[in-house]
């Protein structure tokens, strides 16, 4: 039955040479349009094919619209389909011409052949032209009542398309209730499934404005309806089964016997060949049993085998999708999987994204009984050709070492890594040994013997070098040549490009000095001198700090810089359990693959018109914050863990001055946001705009170093803003309606700023550091729209701003409304200065 | 909501668009450019099949010389999307007669557009069954099967088929000779340490069927798996037969298999689709019979010479033989010259993959051919980096052998007209990832 592969190769779409071909086609189409000669359909087909292939490669063939429509009067179904495809593609840009097609599409909707009826209806709804919706209602209405299920199936999706073009038309025609009727009574399961998808979308979107819709949405997860679907689940096609299972996860059974009934009913779905069905079923099981701890455990045991099968079958991409879910479960309950660790062994040819997940799982399931095997296996990977994976596996060994009590064997392995004499292995191992020593200081003798043999010249990576230097400083008492190694590093100060390494070098020199003063003194002097002359601000500051504290009192300095160490018992986790739970709630979706909850990545501003929903206001703020946190938090952990407590204070302070975002928090609502700013303002200087020059003046004065004071470029206006301002979106909306426009002006944005504005978040962060908060944002390049608000310091007087930025012209249109009209000019100056600095700092 | 796709693109390796189909307006039209710029033209390609760019997520898969890219803007169901692509490709292949590559797409792009319209509507997957779609989507199909005009091939009730309950089989099939072919295909995955201990070993198997049966037949398949046998002896209340029973770790079935009956009676019964399909898949980790043992000894003699000795032992029945055996023995990059001695087959050095490739076309059971080779290396100054030894990899096919020991005990066909059928059963074991560290 399959058509034989066409022997003649259709003219492969030659690369766009442009207009002459298109006008040529136009001519030919015109000639064929009226012809009724035999064989004309075949020549039309060839022409249509050409048109479609041009369209596919991106040549604009919209000028043929008229001719294509004229040629569409044919009984050839393939021709019709090509024509529909063409029309669907260009109707949106040619709304007037699209009107031409309505006629023939409507006629086809009444064709005696259900296939043609269905096709025409689908194309009619795919035109996506807002002013043509009136023509859709009639055909859709009769399509939904069609005797043929194929047409009904298409019509149901058509209703959903109509809803997305014009929601009001769809609601006014009362289509949702017709769909509901179909969903409950149609004999065809595909029609039912499509109704379900359509209604879920429509009612979810309507629920915020209409009570009825939200009631209907609730009714979808009511007991009778869920049971109706569950009892028919085997009749649905595999994709529709996913849909139904998805809905079942939202259902809350009344008691445990109901839960068991559902699980028994769905048990056999775990044997379905379609992995998506299996995953959806697993999700149902996990959600249903969340509150029943022991059953939940049994569910884990039950789903293990199907998951492992799915991982080992199918393409790498598919197994990656499943593996990510398995990964999530392993992280939640490692002990359940601890005997299955062999399944997580990597194969040599597996793609690295699969290997990476497997390494993490191996790390997680390691316990007393299997650690030896796992670590042995991981050591094999350390010699892997794939360097990133080799690094990951060394890190994994380290992680296992840090979570185990019996680390004897592992320490030996790590030390063997150091002797492998491969740059990257040495580098990773050094970092690990450092962490290990901080948790288990008792191993210092063994480690130091090996570390001492490593030449610092062979270590190039900043992180590893920093770790080595830290150990040299920390254990300078036990390492014979520590002062000399450090000393030679100081001599090559200028060749050291990483500020992190230089910072560590300063601290290590100090520690070394306290342990072995006579050998270090001269080198320390050189280090401090080099540090003070350093162009990097942090290095410069730290050197000065050490210098001054040494001059003040050496014993105080020792207490500050080199206090007795306490072993770190637990290293901070990078992801909060709250976030992990949210990911778990979104099982079987992208969240699991990205390892973050959906609100962090489903970008609302790409959805078209700006919305004022509460949700959006909170989301854009929460999102901005959360996007920053993970990386920064990790960095911060790393840094803080390396430093002693006193240093932590210092760096924290300095970093808080610079950025308003260094305190990690994971709030997604304005209330949390407010509390965060409180912390922040407690640490940092309240006059944000002008504080940094002042601060450095003070130091310079104290030291009398005579560095010429940089003149303050921008003197901040007198107006002070509240750093912890909070305003809920509804109040904002209300005020925006009530207040008159106090000021309206055009502000230029710096070109760098305009270039940096690819997504709104960057600007939101920037403005927030100037105490101007965003409540909603949207738009797409080049036009972005923002609503900001600010509050006067110690007064509850609000400023509301609407700001439309065009990135291509680097101009911003700003409308300001204020409670207190008198200060609106001051605020405007402040806003302008804040905005103009965006991208330049 | 498991929206599977907002748009779907087919690109060739250069990044030219072969097919683009936009299903929903929630993603922009320039998504291909984003994909090209941020994934294809960067090192990102191949590092992860799911990537986020801007507000959109891209899922991509490479199939022969084509990339299939799915774009979504919501929190989509990834497993569903990938499965959809795999199924769609299978569908296209069944239409094009096997091949799915750039040429096939260019030659059939109109057909692909037609199919894409049918198999997904507004981002929701619809019916993907080739059996059904072939009823009404044919390139020759100048008119559809429903038209009232007389057509030479009447297809009864096709629209019911489009969406009907027995979605995988149409009624009224007639064959002169009723035949069933059943293949058990197993692939063995092995990871063996250099000391010869098995680190990890499992078998993934599938049962492939080809049915040419008239009417609506009911089939019943009996295997020598443990659960099925136990259940049977329980039902017939007689002690289980002695002999090897196999413990299946996990089984999945084609949608035609009656799962309720499998769970209650442990028999596999089904109404098969017409033609070829995959009846079931299973996985076994216990009691795997490895068809080959590999015993390598690799000695590095100084900086410029290596001695490689590999002995491969076939441990299946002496009457059986393996076909297409390939053993890839890795050597360092700086290999200059090699010389071999093999007791069977042929060997050569392939510089492109840094391997000695030893091929044995026909490998009888219970034999142990050996390869001994001398490898000369170019001495380089960068001696610090010692050679990391990748594992030896092996490919093979052993007909009439199952690594799991699984056997078909019976295959019964029942149809109301009571015709006779001919059943053919074959077994084959292939190498999955068969790795031996050295």
Which residues, 6 or more positions from B163, have their beta carbon under 8 angstroms from its beta carbon?
Answer: A149, A150, A153, A188, A189, A190, A191, B127
pLDDT > 70: percent of chain A: 80
Confidence of residue B186 (pLDDT cuts 50, 70, 90): very high
Tell me the pLDDT of chain A averaged across its residues: 76
Chain A partners within 8 Å of B146 (Cβ): 113-115
Tell me the pLDDT of chain B averaged across its residues: 83
Check CB contact of B194 with chain A, cutoff 8 Å: no
Sheet holding B56-63, edge to edge: B17-22, B7-12, B66-72, B56-63, B50-53
Question: Kind of pairing, strands B124-125 and B370-377?
Answer: unpaired
Highest mean pLDDT of the ranges A105-114, A789-798, B60-69: B60-69
Would you state the CATH architecture of domain B7-134?
2-Layer Sandwich (3.30)
Confidence of residue A541 (pLDDT cuts 50, 70, 90): very high
Over residues A344-360, the mean pLDDT reads: 88
Hey, where are the domains in chain B? 7-134, 179-287+402-436, 292-379+388-399
CB within 8 Å: B103 and A601: no
For the ranges A31-35, A588-592, B427-431, which has the lowest average pLDDT? A31-35
Minimum distance, in Å, between the CA of residue A801 and any CA atom of chain B: 25
The SS3 of residue B114 is helix
Chain A partners within 8 Å of B280 (Cβ): 273
CA gyration radius, chain A: 34
**Residue A435: C-alpha distances to residues A571, A636, A643 (Å):** 9, 15, 12
The SS3 of residue B420 is coil
Task: Give the count of Cβ contacts less than 8 A between chain A and B.
Answer: 310
Span B329-381, pLDDT tens digits: 998 888 888 998 999 999 999 988 889 999 999 999 999 999 999 998 887 66
CB within 8 Å: B255 and A2: no
Q: Chain A residue with minimal CA distance to B159?
A: A150
Same fold flag, B179-287+402-436 and B292-379+388-399: yes
Check CB contact of A12 with chain B, cutoff 8 Å: yes
Chain A, window 180-209: residues with a beta carbon less than 8 angstroms from a chain B beta carbon: 188-191, 193-194, 197, 200-201, 204
Check CB contact of A352 with chain B, cutoff 8 Å: yes
CB-CB: which of B54, B82, B136 is closest to A318?
Answer: B82
Closest-CA residue to A519 (of A555, A547, A490)? A490
Minimum distance, in Å, between the CA of residue B400 and any CA atom of chain A: 22
Confidence of residue B160 (pLDDT cuts 50, 70, 90): very low
Check CB contact of A74 with chain B, cutoff 8 Å: no
Chain A partners within 8 Å of B79 (Cβ): 275-276, 279, 318, 321-322, 325, 588
* Alpha carbon distance B168, B154 (integer Å): 19
CB within 8 Å: A601 and B260: no
In this predicted structure, the answer to whether residue A670 has a pLDDT above a threshold of 60 is: no
Instruction: Check residue B137 and give its pLDDT.
Output: 76
Over residues B3-28, the mean pLDDT reads: 84
Chain A partners within 8 Å of B129 (Cβ): 237
Instruction: Check residue B426 and give its pLDDT.
Output: 93
Chain B partners within 8 Å of A591 (Cβ): 75
Instruction: Check residue A758 and give its pLDDT.
Output: 67
Over residues A448-475, the mean pLDDT reads: 84
Over residues A128-155, the mean pLDDT reads: 87
For the ranges A272-281, A508-517, A668-677, which has the lowest average pLDDT? A668-677
User: Which of B110, B259, B267 is the best substitution to test chain A (most A C-beta atoms within 10 A)?
Assistant: B110
Between A450 and A358, whose confidence is greater? A358
Instruction: Check residue A766 and give its pLDDT.
Output: 77
Residue spans of alpha helices (H) in A368-498:
371-382, 387-403, 408-419, 423-439, 444-451, 462-474, 482-491
Q: Chain A residue with minimal CA distance to B60?
A: A317
The SS3 of residue B153 is coil
Domain B179-287+402-436 falls in which CATH fold? Immunoglobulin-like (2.60.40)
Classify domain B292-379+388-399 at the CATH superfamily level: Mu homology domain, subdomain B (2.60.40.1170)
Chain A partners within 8 Å of B386 (Cβ): 420-422
Statement: the pTM of the whole predicted model exceeds 0.80: no
**Residue B81: C-alpha distances to residues A319, A560, B69, B71, B72 (Å):** 13, 57, 10, 10, 10
Confidence of residue A108 (pLDDT cuts 50, 70, 90): confident
Residue with tokens 């040479």: A17
Which residues, 6 or more positions from A3, have their beta carbon under 8 angstroms from its beta carbon?
Answer: B95, B111, B138, B139, B140
The SS3 of residue A142 is helix
CB-based contact A679:A723 (threshold 8 Å) = no
Highest mean pLDDT of the ranges A20-24, A301-305, A630-634, B231-235: A301-305
For the ranges A226-240, A631-645, A707-721, B330-344, which has the lowest average pLDDT? A631-645
Its sign, for the CA torsion A360, A366, A370, A371, is positive
Minimum distance, in Å, between the CA of residue B135 and any CA atom of chain A: 8
CB-based contact A75:A38 (threshold 8 Å) = no
Check CB contact of A606 with chain B, cutoff 8 Å: yes
For residue B435, list its beta bridge partners: B191, B393
Check CB contact of A595 with chain B, cutoff 8 Å: no
Instruction: Check residue A187 and give its pLDDT.
Output: 86
Between A792 and A231, whose confidence is greater? A231
* Alpha carbon distance A651, A382 (integer Å): 35
Hey, where are the domains in chain A? 455-564, 721-837
Span B100-134, pLDDT tens digits: 888 888 888 888 888 898 899 888 888 887 777 87
Confidence of residue A694 (pLDDT cuts 50, 70, 90): very low
Q: What is the 3-state secondary structure (H, E, C) of B41-70?
A: CCCCCCCCCEEEECCEEEEEEEECCEEEEE
Domain A721-837 falls in which CATH fold? TATA-Binding Protein (3.30.310)
Check CB contact of A242 with chain B, cutoff 8 Å: yes
pLDDT > 90: percent of chain A: 7
CB-based contact B428:B321 (threshold 8 Å) = no
Confidence of residue B258 (pLDDT cuts 50, 70, 90): confident
For the ranges A103-117, A143-157, B404-418, which has the lowest average pLDDT? A103-117
């Amino acid at each position: 039955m399959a058509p034989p592969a066409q022997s003649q190769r259709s003219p492969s779409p030659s690369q766009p040479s442009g207009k002459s071909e298109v006008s040529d086609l136009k001519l030919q189409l015109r000639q064929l349009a009226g012809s009724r000669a035999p064989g004309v359909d075949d020549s039309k087909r060839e022409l249509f094919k050409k048109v479609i292939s041009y369209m596919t490669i991106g040549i604009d063939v919209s000028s043929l619209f008229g001719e294509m429509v004229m040629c569409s009067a044919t009984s050839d179904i393939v021709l019709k389909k090509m024509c529909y495809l063409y029309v669907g593609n260009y109707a949106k840009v040619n709304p007037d011409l699209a009107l031409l097609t309505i006629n023939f599409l409507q006629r086809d909707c009444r064709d005696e052949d259900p296939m043609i009826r269905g096709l025409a209806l689908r194309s009619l709804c795919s035109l996506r032209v807002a002013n043509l919706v009136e023509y859709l209602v009639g055909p859709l209405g009769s399509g939904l009542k069609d005797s043929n299920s194929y047409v009904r199936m298409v019509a149901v999706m058509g209703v959903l398309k109509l809803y997305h073009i014009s929601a009001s038309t769809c609601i006014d025609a009362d289509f949702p209730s017709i769909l509901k009727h179909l969903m409950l009574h149609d004999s065809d399961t595909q029609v039912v499934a499509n109704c379900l998808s359509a209604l879920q979308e429509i009612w979810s979107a309507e629920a915020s404005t209409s009570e009825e819709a939200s009631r209907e949405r609730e009714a979808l997860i009511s007991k009778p309806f869920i049971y109706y679907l569950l009892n028919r689940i085997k009749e649905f096609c595999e994709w529709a089964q996913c849909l139904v299972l998805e809905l079942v996860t939202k259902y809350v059974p009344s008691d445990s016997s109901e839960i068991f009934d559902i699980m028994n009913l769905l048990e056999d779905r775990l044997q379905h060949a379609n992995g998506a069905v299996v995953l959806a079923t697993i999700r149902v099981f996990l959600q249903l049993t969340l509150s029943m701890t022991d059953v939940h455990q049994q569910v884990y045991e039950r789903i293990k085998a199907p998951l492992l099968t799915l991982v080992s079958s199918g393409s790498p991409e598919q197994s990656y999708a499943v593996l990510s879910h398995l990964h999530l479960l392993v992280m939640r309950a490692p002990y359940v999987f601890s005997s299955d660790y062999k399944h997580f062994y990597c194969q040599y040819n597996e793609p690295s994204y699969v290997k990476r997940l497997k390494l993490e799982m191996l790390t997680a399931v390691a316990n007393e009984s299997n650690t030896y095997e796992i670590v042995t296996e991981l050591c094999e990977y350390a010699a892997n050709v794939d360097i990133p994976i080799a690094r990951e596996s060394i890190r994994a060994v380290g992680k296992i070492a840090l979570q185990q009590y019996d680390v004897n064997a592992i320490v030996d392995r790590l030390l063997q890594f150091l002797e492998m004499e491969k740059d990257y292995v040495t580098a990773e191992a050094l970092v690990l040994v450092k962490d290990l020593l901080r948790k288990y200081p008792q191993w210092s003798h063994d480690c130091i013997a090996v570390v001492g043999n490593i030449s610092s010249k062979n270590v190039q990576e900043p992180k590893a070098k920093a770790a080595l230097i830290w150990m040299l400083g920390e254990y300078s008492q036990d390492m014979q040549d520590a002062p000399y190694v450090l000393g030679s590093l100081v001599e090559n100060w200028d060749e050291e490009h990483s500020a992190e390494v230089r910072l560590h070098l300063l601290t290590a020199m100090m520690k070394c000095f306290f342990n072995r003063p006579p050998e270090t003194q001269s080198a320390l002097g050189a280090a401090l001198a080099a540090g003070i002359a350093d162009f990097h601000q942090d290095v410069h500051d730290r050197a000065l700090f050490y210098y001054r504290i040494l001059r003040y009192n050496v014993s105080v300095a020792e207490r500050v810089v080199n206090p007795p160490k306490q072993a770190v018992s637990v290293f901070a986790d990078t992801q909060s359990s709250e976030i992990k739970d949210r990911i778990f709630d979104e099982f079987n979706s992208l969240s699991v693959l990205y390892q973050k909850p959906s609100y962090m990545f489903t970008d609302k501003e790409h959805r078209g018109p700006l919305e004022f929903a509460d949700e959006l206001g909170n989301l854009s703020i929460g999102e901005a914050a959360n996007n920053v946190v993970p990386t920064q938090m990790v960095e911060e952990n790393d840094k803080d863990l390396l430093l002693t407590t006193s240093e932590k204070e210092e760096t924290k302070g300095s970093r808080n001055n610079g950025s308003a975002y260094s305190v990690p928090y994971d709030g997604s609502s304005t209330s949390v946001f407010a509390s965060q700013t409180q912390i922040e303002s407690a640490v940092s200087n309240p006059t944000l705009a002008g504080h940094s020059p002042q601060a450095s003046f003070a130091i310079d004065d104290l030291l009398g170093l005579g560095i010429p004071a940089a003149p303050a470029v921008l003197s901040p206006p007198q107006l002070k803003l509240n750093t912890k301002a909070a305003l809920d979106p509804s109040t904002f909306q209300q005020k925006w309606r009530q207040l008159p426009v106090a000021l309206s002006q055009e502000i230029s944005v710096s070109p760098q700023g305009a270039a940096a504005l690819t997504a709104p978040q960057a600007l939101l962060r920037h403005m927030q550091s100037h105490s101007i908060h965003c409540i909603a944002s949207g738009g797409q390049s080049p036009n972005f729209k923002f609503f900001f608000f600010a509050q006067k310091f110690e007064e509850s007087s609000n400023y509301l701003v609407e700001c439309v930025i065009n990135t291509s012209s680097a101009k911003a249109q700003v409308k300001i409304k204020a409670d207190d009209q008198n200060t609106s000019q001051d605020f405007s100056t402040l806003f302008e200065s804040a905005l103009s600095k965006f991208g330049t700092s | 909501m498991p929206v599977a796709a907002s748009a779907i693109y087919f690109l060739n390796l250069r990044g030219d668009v072969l097919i683009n189909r936009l299903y929903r307006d929630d993603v922009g039209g320039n998504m291909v450019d984003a994909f090209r710029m941020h994934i294809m033209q960067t090192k990102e390609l191949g590092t992860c099949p799911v990537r986020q760019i801007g507000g959109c997520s891209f899922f991509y898969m490479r199939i022969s010389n084509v990339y299939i890219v799915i774009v979504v803007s919501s929190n989509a169901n990834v497993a569903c999307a990938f499965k959809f692509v795999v199924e769609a490709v299978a569908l296209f292949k069944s239409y094009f007669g096997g091949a799915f590559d750039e040429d096939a797409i260019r030659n059939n792009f109109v057909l692909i557009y037609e199919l894409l319209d049918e198999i997904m509507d507004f981002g929701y997957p619809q019916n993907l069954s080739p059996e059904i779609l072939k009823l009404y989507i044919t390139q020759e199909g100048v008119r559809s099967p429903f038209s009232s005009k007389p057509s030479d091939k009447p297809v009864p009730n096709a629209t019911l088929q489009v969406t009907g309950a027995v979605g995988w089989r149409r009624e009224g099939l007639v064959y002169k000779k009723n035949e069933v072919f059943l293949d058990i295909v197993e692939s063995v995955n092995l990871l063996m340490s250099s000391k010869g201990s098995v680190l990890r070993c499992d078998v993934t198997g599938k049962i492939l069927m080809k049915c040419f049966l008239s009417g609506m037949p009911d089939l019943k398949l009996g295997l020598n798996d443990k659960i099925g046998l136990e259940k049977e002896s329980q039902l017939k209340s007689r002690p289980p037969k002695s002999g090897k029973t196999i413990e299946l770790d996990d089984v999945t079935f084609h949608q035609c298999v009656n799962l309720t009956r499998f769970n209650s009676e442990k028999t596999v019964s089904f109404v098969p689709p017409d033609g070829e399909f995959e009846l079931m898949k299973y996985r076994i980790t216990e009691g795997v019979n490895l068809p080959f043992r590999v015993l390598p000894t690799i000695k590095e003699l100084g900086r410029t010479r290596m001695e490689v000795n590999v002995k491969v032992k076939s441990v299946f029945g002496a009457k059986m033989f393996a076909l297409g055996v390939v053993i890839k023995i890795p050597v360092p990059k700086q290999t200059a010259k090699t010389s071999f001695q093999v007791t069977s087959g042929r060997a050569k050095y392939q510089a492109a993959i840094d391997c000695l490739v030893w091929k044995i076309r026909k490998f009888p059971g219970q034999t142990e051919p050996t390869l001994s080779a001398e490898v000369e290396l170019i001495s380089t100054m960068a001696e610090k980096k010692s050679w990391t030894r990748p594992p030896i990899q092996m490919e093979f096919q052993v007909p009439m052998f199952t690594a799991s020991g699984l056997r078909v005990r019976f295959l019964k066909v029942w149809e109301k007209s009571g015709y006779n059928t001919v059943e053919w059963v074959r077994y084959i074991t292939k190498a999955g990832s068969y790795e031996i560290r050295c």
